[in-house]
Amino acid sequence: MEMLWTWLLSFFFILALLCILGYQLVCLVDLEFDYINPYDSSSRINNVILPEFIIQGVLCLILLIARHWFMLLLALPHLYYNVNLYMTRQHLVDVTEIYNQLSWEKKKRFFKIGYLLVLFILSLFWLLWSIGDEYD
């Protein structure tokens, strides 16, 4: 039963990460089409960056405690990238440079979404697998 709860938690954490990144991407696209000003866009994005990093860390911690080594190894590069951004203080979007970095920021978020979609599909597979094992 604990296997089912572990996969369920990881499923919802990855889903939350995908929603946060989707929100950041919508803010960047709104900025690109001038629906929002740079200050509002960067403040909205910066408000959800730290929760994104925390959720990713908790996800890796859950996978470590549950001893799901394969998924942990797949999730660790994203955590390392986030920690590296945080330690070098490059994790926040600068309001004065957001137009110059707009295409790079969008590419970064698209890559993260693609990476998390792979984790999401694998998590969904293992969730369904554990449900099948639970009722056999």
pLDDT value, residue 4: 87
pLDDT value, residue 133: 81
Q: Give 23-52 pLDDT, tens digit per residue.
A: 999 999 999 998 999 999 999 999 999 999
- Residue ranges per structural domain of the chain: 1-133
Distances (CA, A) of 123 to 2, 75, 90, 134, 135: 15, 11, 29, 16, 19
Which one, of 132, 2, 134, 13, lies nearest residue 71 by Cα? 13
pTM score over 0.75: yes
Q: Give 66-124 pLDDT, tens digit per residue.
A: 999 999 999 999 999 999 999 999 999 999 999 999 999 999 999 999 999 999 999 99
Handedness of CA 48, 102, 91, 117 (dihedral sign): positive
pLDDT value, residue 62: 95
pLDDT value, residue 134: 75
| CB neighbour class for 108 (10 Å; exposed up to 12, middle 13-18, buried from 19) | middle
pLDDT band for position 136 (50/70/90)? low
